[in-house]
Structure formats: structure tokens, C-alpha cells
């Protein structure tokens, strides 16, 4: 099961999401240096604060999207490829969000919307799959 | 294994925890609008700051409780139902914590205690299960 | 599979990482009391702020290192023991980081480096394992 193409692809997408998250963290590190914001401060130049909020907001979603990705691939047996596909959409949405936020926080809406929609769909598909499995088990 | 009732219930409880966490995040979003706290600021009206801390504190526990939930259901074979049961107790404790904190941060103790106890029990049961499996494997 | 020694050890290392993270959180709680930093404030005495940043930084890595640990043990079949071993190195690195940071934030480098290297190696080994499985499946 874990060696099937759909599971391997889901594993790759998990790593893609983690690499993206690393990238938001490195951005904070470079802004810390650029604007000389000494640890443990997390406020200072607006550019630093934006990068910090992008990382924090990604952190707020990473522990959600990874379990949802795997719950969907495991339980939504109707079309498990939905899981890695929505995972990729999530990363794209987060990248849009990051790029927009770093320029102007007011423009973070569309990327946030895309990523949130992907999360919501993962949650709904996982739920359908679990409830369906319960019905079949009964 | 993954389609057995106790695993399906654990999957449902995972989703319940995630939905609760989404809810704490939406609360922050609505407080941001209500009190006009513009991103990337995370300070402002006390009501906003409380909602933000509730979300942050839930975020601090989500990446812990989800792995513990699954380690317990997998390894505590003596009574795997303990895992989803303690997961539900955790969500109830977090909901108590949220409701109390939003009114008065000084009253966050009981809910925090219930959720922490559920986490601690999950950790202990997972540990017992793993050590037990080691002894049987030896 | 889940009851094999390498999986059981990976489960134990997961719990070790979680216990370490709990510890960073308890440190924040005790500093909150010691320096009388009332919730929801997260700024105040430097000693409190450092403890808070140590916990936050550990939180930033926990949802990454746990999935990487399991992706590596599952997919890096060449030598799955690399996973729990690097997990232990990660905890040691984080403990070094914590001890250094609490004394002087400027000295947090070495521990951070050790933990980051362990994470990076986990990521690379998981990636090698997944790509390898893809090639074998094709």
C-alpha cells in the first residue's frame, strides 16, 4: 500500500509542503539579518514582520494539512489521487499568499483562499471516506 | 486495520480536533475585522489578543495530540479505544479553555488542565504500549 | 511492520521529541509565574521572552520533524535505523539550542545547526527512499 504510486506521490507532496515551509523560515532568518532584528525580538522592520507572519501562518496550517492529506489518501478510496492533487494546490496557494503578503499584507486574500479551499476539500473528502467506511463496516 | 471501527473513530476524532482548531483561527479572523487589527499586527484590542493566544495555544498542542492519538491507537493494544476517547476529552478541555480565556485569561486553568491531562494520559498509554511491544518482540 | 524494533524505536523517539517540547512549554509557564507576565502578554522580562522563543522555535520544527521521521523509516529501506538515530540527534541539537538560547540568544547557533542538519538529512533520506520506490515500482 505505502509503495503504491498514489502513496508515493502523497509522500512527495508532504516533502514539498515541508520544503516550502523551510523556505518561509529561511526568509525570516534573512530578514532578521537584513534588518538587524536581534533574537528574541519578533517585531521591527515591516518587511521582517511580514516574513515572520507568513512563516507563522504557514506554521498554523502545516500540522493540519499533513494529517488531512494522509487521512484523505487512506480513507477516500473512491479517488485517492485527490489527496496529492489538493496538496499541490495547497502549496501553490501558500506560495501565492507568501508573494502577495511580502509586497502588501492587504493583498493576501486570493492565495489564502486557494490554500484554505484545498484544506477544506481535503477535510470534506476525508470525512466522506471515513463515514463511508463506517457504513460499509456496519 | 485502518478500516476497523477504532481506527475509523480515531480518524473522526482527528478531524474533530482539526475542525476545532479551524474554529479558533476563524475567531482570530473575526476579531481582526471587529477591532480593525491590520495584518501583520498581532497586538491590539484585548479581545483580539485573547482570541490570538487561544489559537496559538491550540496550535502549540495540535502537532502533539495528533501523533499521540495515533501512537496510542496503534501501540496500546490492551484497549485501543482509549485513544479516541482521550482525543474527545482533549477537544472538550480545549473548548472549555477557549470559552474561559475569551472571558477572562485568569480563568483558563480548568480547561487547560483537562486537555493537558488527556495529552499526558495519551503519552503514558502510548509509552506503555511501545515498551510492552518491545518486551514481546524480545 | 509497526511492531518491528526499528518502528518501535521510531515511536519512542517521537515520544522523546514530544516530551522535550512539553519541557520547553513548561519552562515558559514557570517564567510567566517567575516574572509575573500575565496572559495573554508574550513580552516582558528578557528571560521570559527567551523561554517563549525557544518554545516557539521548537513548535516551528515539531510538525516537520515528526512526519520526516516517519517518512524516512517507511521509505528509506536501505537503512531505516537512520530515522530514529537522526531523531535522537535532533533532540540533542534542540536541547543544546535551548540551553544556549536561555543564557544568550547570540549563542544559539551550534544547537540550531545540529538540529537543522538532522532535519535536512531526514528530508534527503526520505526523498531518496521515495524516488527509489518510484523507480522500482515503474
pLDDT tens digits along B70-119: 999 999 999 999 999 999 999 999 999 999 999 999 999 999 999 999 99
**Set of chain C residues whose Cβ sits within 8 Å of the Cβ of B134:** 5, 8
User: What are the pLDDT digits (tens) for C83-116?
Assistant: 999 999 999 999 999 999 999 999 999 999 999 9
Identify the contact set of chain A against chain C, taking CB-CB distances under 8 A. Answer: 2-5, 8, 11-12, 14-15, 18-19, 21-22, 25, 38-40, 42, 55, 59, 62-63, 66
Res B136 pLDDT > 90? no
Q: In this complex, do C71 and A22 lie within 8 Å of one another by their Cβ atoms? A: no
Q: In this complex, do C5 and B101 lie within 8 Å of one another by their Cβ atoms? A: no
Among the listed residues C62, C92, C67, C57, the one whose alpha carbon sits nearest the alpha carbon of residue C10 = C67
Q: Give the cell for residue B60.
A: 502549540
Q: Which range among A59-73, B32-46, B62-76, C90-104 shows the weakest confidence by mean pLDDT?
A: B32-46
SS3 C77: coil
* Alpha carbon distance B133, C12 (integer Å): 11
Buried b (16+ CB within 10 A) or exposed e, B69-86: bbbbbbbbeeebebbbbb
Q: Give the cell for residue A37.
A: 532584528
* Alpha carbon distance A104, A110 (integer Å): 13
What is the overall mean pLDDT for chain B?
A: 94
The torsion region of residue C81 among left (phi > 0), alpha (psi -120 to 50) and beta comes to alpha
Q: In this complex, do B38 and A105 lie within 8 Å of one another by their Cβ atoms? A: yes
Q: Give the cell for residue A107.
A: 493583498
Q: What is the pLDDT of residue B1?
A: 82
**Set of chain B residues whose Cβ sits within 8 Å of the Cβ of A53:** 39-40, 42
User: What are the pLDDT digits (tens) for C15-37?
Assistant: 999 999 999 999 999 999 999 99
Helix axes A46-75, A5-34, angle to 10 degrees: 170
pTM (2 decimals)?
A: 0.95
Q: What is the pLDDT of residue C138?
A: 65
* Alpha carbon distance C114, C98 (integer Å): 12
Q: Give the cell for residue C85.
A: 538515530
Amino acid at each position: 500500500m505505502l509503495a503504491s504510486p498514489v502513496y508515493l506521490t502523497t509522500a512527495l507532496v508532504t516533502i514539498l509542503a515541508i520544503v516550502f515551509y523551510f523556505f518561509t523560515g529561511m526568509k525570516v532568518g534573512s530578514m532578521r539579518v537584513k534588518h538587524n532584528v536581534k533574537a528574541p525580538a519578533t517585531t521591527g522592520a515591516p518587511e521582517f514582520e511580514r516574513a515572520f507572519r507568513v512563516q507563522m501562518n504557514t506554521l498554523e496550517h502545516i500540522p493540519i494539512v499533513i494529517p488531512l492529506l494522509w487521512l484523505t489518501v487512506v480513507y477516500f478510496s473512491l479517488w485517492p489521487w485527490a489527496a496529492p492533487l489538493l496538496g499541490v494546490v495547497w502549496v501553490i496557494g501558500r506560495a501565492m499568499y507568501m508573494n502577495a503578503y511580502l509586497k502588501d499584507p492587504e493583498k493576501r486574500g486570493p492565495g489564502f483562499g486557494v490554500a484554505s479551499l484545498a484544506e477544506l476539500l481535503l477535510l470534506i473528502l476525508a470525512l466522506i471516506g471515513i463515514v463511508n467506511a463506517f457504513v460499509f463496516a456496519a
